[in-house]
Amino acid sequence: MAANEPETVSPKCAQSENSGTDAGACPARRSRTLQLGQWIVKGFLSVAILAGFIFLGQQIALLYEPEPTGALASQTLTSFDTKQPVVVQFGDASHAISQQEIRGNQFTATDNLRKICHAAAKRGSFPQDEPSDAELTLLHSLLLGDTTGDTDGVTVCAIASGSPIFIGIRHPLQEITNQDQPDTARIVAWGFATQTEANRWKLRVVSYASPPENATEQSLTIALPPDSQRLLQMGSPDGNSVLAFTSACDLEQQIVFFNHFFKNNHWEQRRAWRTSGHSGQGVYTRMQGSRSETAHIHLHRQLPSPEGEGRDQWSGIINLAYQSQQPR
């Protein structure tokens, strides 16, 4: 992961925050550099998150055009509880963004952020590329602090004492005993907290990520038709998720694919697909124990290119909703 933080800051690791020690005030120049670094991190992550949600909003707006005559009304897309972490992945990109909202003072926000950053660094994938010089410099600075490395090979450090900005460092398993050696470690997570109002905070963590591990055991990994590409996926711990994709398959091929896929996974088709020349909607349901699961699929044909060449492109959104059934 590229390290864009200032190299002149002398950070303290998160573990040293609770010791009650204070190394003293930093010089004014270092304080200004720290503030600039915080603004850069916050700005970068905010733009990335905003871009993802803008894209998803555009796709939803496209898909919710008037339905074919006789079609049943569409059900609202899954909403996410902001008190629970929501993980956003961008197609096949190697990064994921986790966002959560909590209530409490700055100590509560900082403590929760450190734990979330640790969890993200622990479950994320280890980068396979070579670290940049900037990343090595930041690692050297971070790991020279009063570091107490965890036994699971993850170290979480604060950019500065009391600052709600953390760096998650991952060490190769075979090098856990050498956690003070920067050249054996990689930065795999960046976390920061922002206060939105009195005693209310948003926690965000960007991390190198394997497929999200925030879903339940009963949740389903959706396969896509051939010549399709995942664009954006959002998921929460209760299994609710929204997946946006594009496909070069025609409408009939996509319908056949999804009918086959869901049937093989023991889902039932709630009703026949509703289709028109430019859109299609399908709904599948199943029971998993005491949970009712519903998959809504919305497809929309994109406008042809001005050149009029190539196959039609389709945009799609798959909404997975889970609901516990109360015993009668």
Chain segment 56-65, per-residue pLDDT in tens: 554 444 444 4
Per-position DSSP letters for 214-244, written without gaps between them: -S-TT-------TTEEEEEEEE-TTS-EEEE
The pLDDT-based confidence of 273 (bands split at 50, 70, 90) is: very high
Predicted confidence at residue 60, as pLDDT, reads: 46
Q: Is the residue at 104 inside a domain?
A: yes
> 172 and 282 share a domain?
no
**Final residue of a structural domain among 153, 174, 208:** 208
pLDDT at 282 over 80: yes
126 and 197: one domain? yes
Q: Which pLDDT band, with edges at 50, 70 and 90, does 134 fall under?
A: confident
Q: Are residues 106 and 203 in the same domain?
A: yes
Verify that 199 and 234 share a domain, yes or no: no
pLDDT average, residue stretch 159-163 = 69
How many whole angstroms separate alpha carbon 189 and alpha carbon 170?
A: 9
> Are residues 165 and 116 part of one domain?
yes
| % of residues, the chain, pLDDT over 70 | 55
Considering the domain boundaries, does residue 111 fall inside one?
Answer: yes
23, pLDDT greater than 80: no
| Alpha helices for 102-249 (secondary structure H) | 106-123, 133-143
pLDDT confidence band for 165 (50 / 70 / 90): confident
> Does 29 map to a domain?
no
CATH code for position 290: 3.40.1000.10
Let me know if residue 312 belongs to a domain.
Answer: yes
**Same structural domain for residues 125 and 233?**
no
Residue 167 structure tokens: 């760096």
Over residues 64-84, mean pLDDT: 42
Lowest-confidence pick of 11-15, 152-156, 263-267: 11-15
Q: Is residue 202 part of a domain?
A: yes
The residue-averaged pLDDT of 284-307 equals 82
pLDDT reported for residue 224: 92
Domain contains 136: yes
Q: Answer whether residue 89 shows pLDDT above 50.
A: yes
Among the three residues 139, 173, 208, which one is the final residue of a domain in this structure? Answer: 208
Q: What pLDDT band is residue 92 in, cutting at 50, 70 and 90?
A: low
The strand pair at 268-275 and 165-170 is best described as: unpaired
Q: Could you tell me the pLDDT band of residue 43, with boundaries at 50, 70 and 90?
A: low
Confidence of residue 85 (pLDDT cuts 50, 70, 90): low
For residue 37, pLDDT beyond 50: yes
Query: Residues 6 or more apart from 58 whose CB is under 8 A from it?
Result: none
CA distance from start to end of the chain: 52
Same domain, 194 and 238: no
User: What is the spatial distance between Cα 52 and Cα 93, in angstroms, rounded to a whole number?
Assistant: 12
User: How confident is residue 268, by pLDDT bands cut at 50, 70 and 90?
Assistant: very high
Q: In this structure, are 312 and 266 located in the same domain? A: yes
244 or 42, which is more confident? 244
For the cut 90, the answer to whether the pLDDT of residue 261 exceeds it is: yes
Instruction: Report yes or no on 318 lying in a domain.
Output: yes
Looking at per-residue pLDDT, the higher value among 32 and 117 belongs to 117
Q: What whole-number distance in Å separates Cα of residue 211 and Cα of residue 85? A: 15
Verify that 166 and 257 share a domain, yes or no.
no
Which domain-ending residue is among 143, 176, 208? 208
Same domain, 100 and 195: yes
Q: Is residue 164 part of a domain?
A: yes
148 and 200 inside one domain? yes
Please check the confidence at residue 294 and state whether its pLDDT lies above 70: yes
195 and 311 assigned to the same domain: no
| 139 vs 20: which has the higher pLDDT | 139
pLDDT at residue 122 is higher than 90: no
The structural domain count of the chain equals: 2
Domain holding 282, by residue range, is 228-324
pLDDT exceeds 50 at position 67: no
The span from the CA of 220 to the CA of 318, in Å, is 12
Which CATH number is 187's domain given? 3.30.530
State CA 299 to chain mean position distance.
23
